[in-house]
Structure 1
């Protein structure tokens, strides 16, 4: 897939989630004492505590839009548990240096997101002018290693985006093995993600047919394969056959990028979402915002505005098998005893035909005040807020985002604020399942 910013053309990649299986022999080094993510003997992506983790998220073009860091909070508020962040080695675009990589990783943690970091300059190597090799991408990661040390529980390193076009794709296998081994020799213990050739879509089956040997070449046995699904994957049969091949071979696979449309064909996004959910595989849609050059339809949020989701944005976040309905936050963010930094009580205080009155209490469980906040949730039955006191609501489909009134803008340490509202309902009036405060998941109070 090819992606254009206002400044330069680049290639799109589809991101998916891990979840395929490994052979017992492949899993011998995936020990329970792992310091970060690892692949289990059943082929699942596991957190360091052994809990299963299935990615549900989107791609964000950080390297071209470095000031749009608030997008991470917006992506989290809509329910994502993972974000794939576009970075540059400095060969084709401005280099994201060690300080910036560290800042991005910290912002992911602050917003309780798992961070998949990818080097985009490899896009279409062998075919795209200026694209660099996987070896060069590995050198970049080694150069910013200090920003990633100790982040194995929060960060997955996607070595290079779509590292071959269609020309010379046979070189993918040996180059991928060498890049993995270079990073391991440099001391990287992170889960590594490797993209397919053929602009990520692997229509030649180069990755599919060589994945086992690539996995075996990783001394840590901790590599995940990522296919990008655009026009090549325009039928349910193609999508299911590809994903099930990896599952049957007991090899981990994710859909690292995909869209609802593309210049090379019309992807079957409904099947991509349904198949990954059925198989327990992860997915990362392309992309949050900032697309140009004719593929603006791939934006999920118009102009980086979380309150202006596009049809594609509404589909991936709120549609069947979408992020809001299937995402589970990484348990690494639960903290000691699973205590969230906030708690929300939602209560219906009165109800009549077609209408109701409700109350929200937002508690700050931290040791410092919260000055200024955004509360977000998704109504499960199409409810709508018609009036609110204590805050200002904004609705985008079923998602509600609330900002405070002046007199509720500060939540004291270990204190709370209350909001009241009037709303409408039709058919059912079930409470929201989850809330986030400034992007952090809140527990029920």
Structure 2
């Protein structure tokens, strides 16, 4: 089976220290038992297995997928995607499609026509692209024809292999960027869009789940060959030592959230550490490692510890209804919870602050309760809804609600009031330095 559900990947290995123990007779007995088990059990299991899907069923699933996106995806006005053309491009491929593996690839390609990293499937293949930003360690954009590294994820393969902001990627696995990116560019656009090229570049640099990446880079007249996956395919199985990293820096408290804003079990530990830091003169909340986003329950629980009265923190908007052309929008409120932390607060964000992490940033800004410091965030579009195809059971998610700062600014367009350019910050700094953290400390010092 070559399909790996995204949420259930595991690695298996022999138990350490186990020695071979079979004698020849025991091996023969095992063979005999295996044959008996196959005779008694396997026919029943085979009878219970579902038959392969027919082409008509794949066609029905594709139509469900295409119509669901057409009806519910809320960012078409911001895209150059011609969704009718997407149907014309991919529907004929179903005539020769007869495996789930091939169907997954067709859906991946069709969904990529939206060039929206917040849209995705619930399953993947070993040669599927890694998720952006969760499964990536570098952020790059085109400046003219140059693929410029804008940010590097701390402590991951790209940084360890020497990649720094400002470098230019010239080739990926031996193929020039301009050639290699063609596989990842949408085919169903009404006209060219720079955002689609940047999406393709991120897909290219993310790599897949089985092929080690090799990048050729140029910087300040020198060249670098980087191998971000040289130590293994670590982006497939990211592990953190703890959900919350907590420390005191003089009179300032520091809490870093390690990609668990989706876990309601975070609320109690967060309350505990915030209470322990209650005597500090200021607090830094580090959201720079929250690429997978989270849920509003956790977000509201966190914000509620810093406010004294109920207030709006973000605005939602659903697309106009086709017949009435009536837009539906509303403000979401957050209320106080527990003992309020009243000292000054700084929130750190960056390219790996995603979705609900971005919601927390704009929420704290809207509440006037924190100074947000950092660079652009992941800029993931809106709130996603999940759907399931009726025959194959494959799930997919797309943004259905647009999300805004309470001042009307789209969440994906938010720029921290205290902006730090990652490239400028990296100049003259070693990999261990943290200009954003230092800026936060300076701000809190000035607010005493």
TM-score grouping bracket, smaller chain normalisation: under 0.3
Q: Which has the higher strand share?
A: 1
Q: Which has the higher helix share?
A: 2
TM-score (norm 2): 0.26
TM-score (norm 1): 0.26
Which structure has more RCO (C-alpha within 8 Å, separation ≥ 6)? 1
Larger radius of gyration: 2
